[in-house]
Structure 1
Amino acid sequence: MISEIRTINLIFAVAGLVLSILGLIQTRIGHNFDGKTRHFFTVLFGTLQIYVLCILIREVIYDLQGYGWAFLSKVVIFGQAFFASLLTILITIFVLFQSGEKRWMKNGIFYTSAVLWCIYNILLISNLFTGRSYRIDNDNSYQRGPYFSLLIIPTVLIMLVNLFAVWKKRKKLSERQRTAFAVYAIVPMISMILQAIFFGVHLIALSTVVAALFMMMCIMSDQMERYYATEAENSRLKIDILLAQIQPHFLFNSLTVIKHLCTEDPGKAEKAIGQFTNYLRHNMDSLTTDKPIAFEQELEHVKEYVALQKLRFGDELGVKYDLKYTDFSLPTLTLQPLVENAVTYGVRKSESGRGTVTIYSEKSGDDVIICVEDDGPGFDEKDITDVSGRSHAGISNVRERIERISGGELIIDSCKGEGTKAIIKIPLGELGNADFCNR
């Protein structure tokens, strides 16, 4: 009977190791994960491999006697117990992250899991000296101690915390995510309880790996669905903002100025035509790419727009650049609409029709801040929509694209008589859905 159990355990351990390796390979070569999800599953399957490998080593040396084999058994059984607990708290973190908790380390659910995990490891380490939960004799035989049940309580509680997290965050999780997390929490927990009752058979190793693979497939399917939905929405947004940018009055005014320059200053007219062409090309090119572009590239588009406006308004329009940080990317057609707003609704709406637009950028912690400021008359933020029902040059459109593509935000700060600031805040190194675009 014992030999049959050992054979079953070896089969389970080998199967678990092979499946965890396959899961890691799929994670690394697959194209259906964003960066942080890929990193999580890499850590998860890497941890699973170490965990299952510890079980496999123990099963191989189970019948070998001697102090050296007993010491090795102590090491791998401790490793098995430690990495099994690590798997539970990893899920706590991932559930919180997937539900939109960027500061998950300050969340009460994470605190609860972390405290339980620390209690578990204190019990685990103390057992090395007391042997009250389990012990390995010098002849390499494993025996449970009187406090073995106490050792597994913290990990079971962490699994219950994970289920609570799924329930609490259910409105922020998709149906596939809820199913994936619930299965990963429940299946290993049931296996752990059964393994504690029916001593000898390692059910939890294989069940945990299978649950992890199921979770990976659900998350992969969910992210693919979200990705394609986001792509369709981004295409709509880009077309909307392009239509907002290429407005008839701007085209008419620019062409009228160029027409006059053709007779008064042909050389300047030629330069203006080049700027106008580049401006239109940038707008059209934005339809063919989903990737964020370098800030310098978007800034060039702004300068083309400013040059065309200065042909019209001359010294009445001033533009200042205070660029302290430029090594970052942002969605195409996000900065130029804000500059256009500053010119149209700021500078040109002032009593004198004169004014200055200031563009500055800087790094602030883990974020980059871009601000477009004008010294115009300002407005009440509740009046951001004009009489035609359209947001000023697509502000809401710009805001939505920044949130979707870069995980950032657009803040409008304006008061009547005090000018307006349009502030873009983008997390550095975190492009959200843009991770798909960079594949």
Structure 2
Amino acid sequence: MDQMIIANVALDIFCILLCLMPILYLTSAHRYKIKLNQYFMGLCISNALMILGDIGDWAIRDIISSGEKILLTALTLLYYISSALVLFFISSYVKEYLKLTKRQSKYFILTVAVLCIVQVILALLSPLTGSIFYINENGYQRGNLFLLSQVIPVLNMILCIICIFVNRKKLSGREMVFFHLYLLLPPVSMLIQTMFRGLGIVSPIITLNILILFINIQHEQELAFHQREKELAELQIDILLSQIQPHFLYNALATISHLCRHDPEAARKATKEFSMFLRGNMDSLHNRNPIPFEQELTHVMNYLSLEQQRFHNRLRIVYDIQHNNFKIPPLTLQPLVENAVRHGILHRDEGGVITISTAEAPDAHIVTISDDGVGIEKAKTFANLGEHAHIGIENVRSRLQAMVHGTVEIKSSNEGTTVTMRIPKEGM
């Protein structure tokens, strides 16, 4: 084994060890639970396997036995199949990082998958047809369609570059530079290695790019994730404080005090509901994840029951729950319902009806809160609207987007207001 071969084998082994570093990091502290990290781990693992397969080409040059031929064939198949996985995972990483729309994501990943499948099929057929490679007494040899196996990664990288260019406004200048380094350097190194066989630079270049990507983009993305976690915690406290307003506590306690004198049984029930309402708010401080919709609905029902004790027939509730098998951020529904009560129907002398309904769409869970109150514009003329309603809605909007990629849509007129929350199924 000459010195060039020894150097290439040693370099491949070193690159495999380098790939293990981000893998070990991402498997610690449950970082792998984040989808973006899962794609990056897949990229590192498939790259390590690709390099392992590449070692066979350098280490097994003269085929003496059938066992060596089988081993070299298996390693070469591992190389080509893993190279297809590298393409798939880097494309999936780009898709997730850019937060592509559902339509963009569908066509982008479908095209990438077709290219990767073609690569895998050609590789699997090669031991029989010699299309990409074949093994003879001199070891690994390139087949007639070898160049096609090099064109496929280039096409994939071009797709990624186009995708990044179309969504360039989502990236900083620094992110653009490092993504393009990763996407452009491997094809260049492949071209050089194709022209000068014996020069093993593809594996080191790809591995180096993975580490650069990890240090400069992936790590920053994780820091940004933790920053969002901190902001979510602050939003949770804000929303909690906005819902436990002194006026509500005073009014609820005054209502319970009144019931104690006139209807002890109703007072007992109201006290229990008040206790459950407070518990629901306090529990949200310790819950950073979405909760079952039924749990959030129960919290809202406790709140509304207390308000009905005060306003009686002026506040009427309709529940139209057609679908409840989904999760929602805690304290998301209640602020919207409270706005409907305080700034909608209670500004009408005769009161009104609040309808809470749910439905299931092909791509989302839908929650609707509608009222037949005075509408947002007219409600602004009342002195007690203040900033509370606006802060509550914006907190809901921010938390819904951050935790489940959901949206809030508001339609209002003089005949009432309808608030619609859409929670994408893929966001869960």
Tell me if structure 2 keeps the 8 A contact 1:381–1:414.
Answer: no
> What is the identity, as a one-letter code, of the residue corresponding to 2:422?
K
- Counterpart-to-counterpart distance in 2, 1:218 and 1:335: 38
1:228 pairs with 2:226: yes
Q: Tell me which residue corresponds to 1:296.
A: 294
Post-superposition Cα deviations, 1:70-119, rounded to whole Å, max 9, x if no partner, equal 46544533442343244234323321221110426656665765676577
Q: Tell me which residue corresponds to 1:60.
A: 59
SS of equivalent to 1:376 = coil
> Do the aligned partners of residues 266 and 70 (structure 1) sit closer, same or farther apart at CA in structure 2, a change above 3 Å counting?
closer
> Do the aligned partners of residues 257 and 135 (structure 1) sit closer, same or farther apart at CA in structure 2, a change above 3 Å counting?
closer
Aligned partner (choices 191, 198, 201) of residue 199 of structure 2: 201
Tell me if structure 2 keeps the 8 A contact 1:384–1:392.
Answer: no
- Counterpart-to-counterpart distance in 1, 2:213 and 2:288: 28
SS of equivalent to 1:256 = helix
Tell me if structure 1 keeps the 8 A contact 2:406–2:421.
Answer: yes
1:422 pairs with 2:411: no
Q: Tell me which residue corresponds to 2:50.
A: 51
Tell me if structure 1 keeps the 8 A contact 2:12–2:204.
Answer: yes
Shift of 1:143: 4.2
Tell me if structure 1 keeps the 8 A contact 2:57–2:140.
Answer: no
Tell me if structure 1 keeps the 8 A contact 2:43–2:85.
Answer: no
> Do the aligned partners of residues 9 and 257 (structure 1) sit closer, same or farther apart at CA in structure 2, a change above 3 Å counting?
same
Q: Tell me which residue corresponds to 2:318.
A: 320
Tell me if structure 2 keeps the 8 A contact 1:195–1:201.
Answer: yes
SS of equivalent to 2:423 = strand
- Counterpart-to-counterpart distance in 1, 2:408 and 2:78: 48
> Do the aligned partners of residues 227 and 97 (structure 1) sit closer, same or farther apart at CA in structure 2, a change above 3 Å counting?
closer
> What is the identity, as a one-letter code, of the residue corresponding to 1:361?
T
SS of equivalent to 1:319 = strand
SS of equivalent to 1:302 = helix
Shift of 1:379: 4.8
> What is the identity, as a one-letter code, of the residue corresponding to 1:97?
E
1:13 pairs with 2:12: yes
> What is the identity, as a one-letter code, of the residue corresponding to 2:312?
G
> What is the identity, as a one-letter code, of the residue corresponding to 1:50?
L
Q: Tell me which residue corresponds to 2:184.
A: 186
- Counterpart-to-counterpart distance in 2, 1:345 and 1:119: 60
Post-superposition Cα deviations, 1:138-159, rounded to whole Å, max 9, x if no partner, equal x244445677556523423433
> Do the aligned partners of residues 384 and 237 (structure 1) sit closer, same or farther apart at CA in structure 2, a change above 3 Å counting?
farther
Tell me if structure 2 keeps the 8 A contact 1:70–1:140.
Answer: no
| Greater alpha carbon shift after TM alignment, 189-198 vs 161-170 | 161-170
> Do the aligned partners of residues 398 and 106 (structure 1) sit closer, same or farther apart at CA in structure 2, a change above 3 Å counting?
closer
> What are the equivalent positions in structure 2 for 1:63-74 lying under 5 Å apart?
63-65=62-64, 69-70=68-69, 72-74=71-73
1:162 pairs with 2:160: yes
Tell me if structure 2 keeps the 8 A contact 1:48–1:209.
Answer: yes
| Greater alpha carbon shift after TM alignment, 93-102 vs 323-332 | 323-332
Q: Could you tell me which runs of 5 or more consecutive residues in structure 1 were left unpaired when the two chains were aligned.
A: 432-439
Shift of 1:230: 1.4
Q: Tell me which residue corresponds to 2:407.
A: 409
- Counterpart-to-counterpart distance in 2, 1:33 and 1:212: 17
> Do the aligned partners of residues 371 and 108 (structure 1) sit closer, same or farther apart at CA in structure 2, a change above 3 Å counting?
closer
Shift of 1:408: 0.9
Tell me if structure 2 keeps the 8 A contact 1:33–1:223.
Answer: no
> What is the identity, as a one-letter code, of the residue corresponding to 1:242?
L
Post-superposition Cα deviations, 1:375-425, rounded to whole Å, max 9, x if no partner, equal 3344569979986355457212211111112211112233332x3322222
> What is the identity, as a one-letter code, of the residue corresponding to 1:410?
V
- Counterpart-to-counterpart distance in 2, 1:384 and 1:123: 71
- Counterpart-to-counterpart distance in 2, 1:50 and 1:275: 59
> What is the identity, as a one-letter code, of the residue corresponding to 1:195?
Q
- Counterpart-to-counterpart distance in 1, 2:334 and 2:224: 28
Tell me if structure 2 keeps the 8 A contact 1:410–1:422.
Answer: yes
> What is the identity, as a one-letter code, of the residue corresponding to 2:195?
I
Structure of greater relative contact order (alpha carbons < 8 Å, 6+ residues apart):
1
SS of equivalent to 1:10 = helix
Post-superposition Cα deviations, 1:9-42, rounded to whole Å, max 9, x if no partner, equal 2212222333334443333334445521132123
> What is the identity, as a one-letter code, of the residue corresponding to 2:40?
F
Post-superposition Cα deviations, 1:206-229, rounded to whole Å, max 9, x if no partner, equal 332232233234444223321232
> What is the identity, as a one-letter code, of the residue corresponding to 1:424?
M
- Counterpart-to-counterpart distance in 2, 1:193 and 1:266: 85
- Counterpart-to-counterpart distance in 1, 2:282 and 2:103: 40
Shift of 1:129: 7.4
Q: Could you tell me which runs of 5 or more consecutive residues in structure 2 were left unpaired when the two chains were aligned.
A: none
Q: Tell me which residue corresponds to 2:99.
A: 100
> What is the identity, as a one-letter code, of the residue corresponding to 1:307?
S
1:360 pairs with 2:357: yes
CA root-mean-square deviation: 3.5
> Do the aligned partners of residues 14 and 293 (structure 1) sit closer, same or farther apart at CA in structure 2, a change above 3 Å counting?
same
Normalized against structure 1, the TM-score is what? Answer: 0.82
- Counterpart-to-counterpart distance in 1, 2:227 and 2:14: 37
> What is the identity, as a one-letter code, of the residue corresponding to 1:403?
Q
- Counterpart-to-counterpart distance in 1, 2:236 and 2:83: 47
Tell me if structure 1 keeps the 8 A contact 2:63–2:139.
Answer: no
Identical aligned residues as a percent: 32
> Do the aligned partners of residues 136 and 361 (structure 1) sit closer, same or farther apart at CA in structure 2, a change above 3 Å counting?
same
Shift of 1:7: 0.9
Post-superposition Cα deviations, 1:275-319, rounded to whole Å, max 9, x if no partner, equal 334323433443344232332322222122111111111233222
> What is the identity, as a one-letter code, of the residue corresponding to 1:263?
R
